[in-house]
Amino acid sequence: MIAKAAILWDEPGTFNRFVNECCGICCDHVNQHLIASPFYRGRYVALVVPTGFGNPRYSRLLPGLRAAAPRIRRFVENGGRLLVFGAADERPGAYDWLPFPVEYRHEYRERALSFPGSTPYGSLIDGYDAGAVETDGVFPVHGGETVAETPEGEAVIIAKEIGEGAVVVATTHEYPSAKFMGAFCTAERETLF
């Protein structure tokens, strides 16, 4: 089995260290220039886009994600896994590069979460109090399946299987559990990005 992920961000940060050191996953840093380059060829089990990618005060990644949208779709269709967190910005269209529609409403606060069905992605918040999870928004409209929702029925974690791969989108504002990352970023083979 191979445990390998790419963290898509402007500069390497503490999230990279968490994935590498706490989760035991070989972790590469891929910036906005590499993601948009048609010549870049990386092989990964998973791509991870941390919280704040849609807010220009925190990151310049969004234009690169939009430029790489067809490659991201192929990566997932061919067996790759994509984990995306909250855009942390109110402007619409922050998720328009994903291979299915996602509308995001930015609103930072603690939320109680429940899991309406059986899913392997529920372990994302293992170790956290499901009655008070820090989140940066909700997904009022989306083309995926709801993994976790508020008591009011607002989606906070969604997932969609596409081809041989999967996309998980979450507004949880905590690091994902090491258990989730270990399972999500491990597979029998890597997928070419």
DSSP structure class, residue 176: P
DSSP letters for 154-167: -EEEEEEEETTEEE
CA distance 47 to 43: 10
How confident is the model at residue 7, as a pLDDT? 96
How confident is the model at residue 72, as a pLDDT? 97
Give domain 2-192's CATH superfamily: Class I glutamine amidotransferase (GATase) domain (3.40.50.880)
DSSP structure class, residue 58: T
The residues of the chain scoring below 50 in pLDDT are none
How confident is the model at residue 22, as a pLDDT? 86
Among candidate residues 31, 44, 33, 101, the one with its CA nearest the CA of residue 75: 44
pLDDT tens, residue by residue, 134-189: 999 999 999 999 999 999 999 999 999 999 999 999 999 989 999 999 999 999 99
Q: Is the pTM of this model over 0.75?
A: yes
DSSP letters for 70-118: HHHHHHHHTT-EEEE------STTTTTTSSS-EEEEEEEEEE--B--S-
Among candidate residues 97, 102, 115, 107, the one with its CA nearest the CA of residue 47: 97
Counts of helices then strands in the chain (DSSP H, E): 5, 12
Give burial (CB, 10 Å; 0-12/13-18/19+) of 138.
buried
- Degrees (nearest 5) of the Cα angle 178, 112, 143? 75
How confident is the model at residue 144, as a pLDDT? 96
